Amino acid sequence: MQKIKTVLFDLDGTLADTAPDLANALNYVLEKHNYTALPYEKIRPVVSHGGMALVTLGFGADHPEFDTFYKELLEHYQNNIANETTLFPGMDELLLALEKENINWGVVTNKPGWLTKPLMEALNLTSRAATIVSGDTLEERKPHPAPLLHACQQAGSKAEECIYVGDAERDIEAGNRAGMLSLVALFGYIADSDVPETWGAHSLITSPAAIIPLIQSLN
């Protein structure tokens, strides 16, 4: 086993709790078009799957104005990208602990760069991250392993020296295909229908704090 040198995170539902702002964006569009706002608990599990999944939840996949709703949701979200978004509890402490141990970290997300960049800036994380790979950085997106391998290269590590942490099955598939250790963030946006135990991850973690002892045991 190679020593772990880099920890890579999915963004929404793993590094940052973005669900409040994305739920607000969906409910803004619903109410704008005279639909009833949805309860936060119904929206939260869908957030990891992106804006189209949110519009589908709110209006249905076949709505004739789907593209309009999608554009409005993204516009509202972009303008309110970090009103209520925070790091998950214990995440800042984890990042500081990694930095103290000279283990660098980065983000690999399917979120497009024009949303990823301002969010990372708002959270004061841009300068601390060794790599930030967005959904449009390459032609491929997760579950393809290419974005993770690109992030590894930017961070100066081999795949086997990296851990990838995510809260969706595509995250674990991407990590495994890239040859990394993959961890499921159970504190993220896991739906009742999800069975993360079957995703093939190296481990399932209930808090960011669980990552440090795991790395220590590997190293």
Q: Which residues are annotated as catalytic? A: 10
Write 95-98 long-range contacts (CB < 8 A, 24+).
95/125, 95/128, 97/212, 98/7, 98/212
Residues 100, 52 contacting (CB under 8 angstroms): no
Residues 40, 17 contacting (CB under 8 angstroms): no
How far apart (Å, rounded) are the C-alpha atoms in residues 122 and 185? 23
Tallying the residues shown for the chain, one arrives at: 219
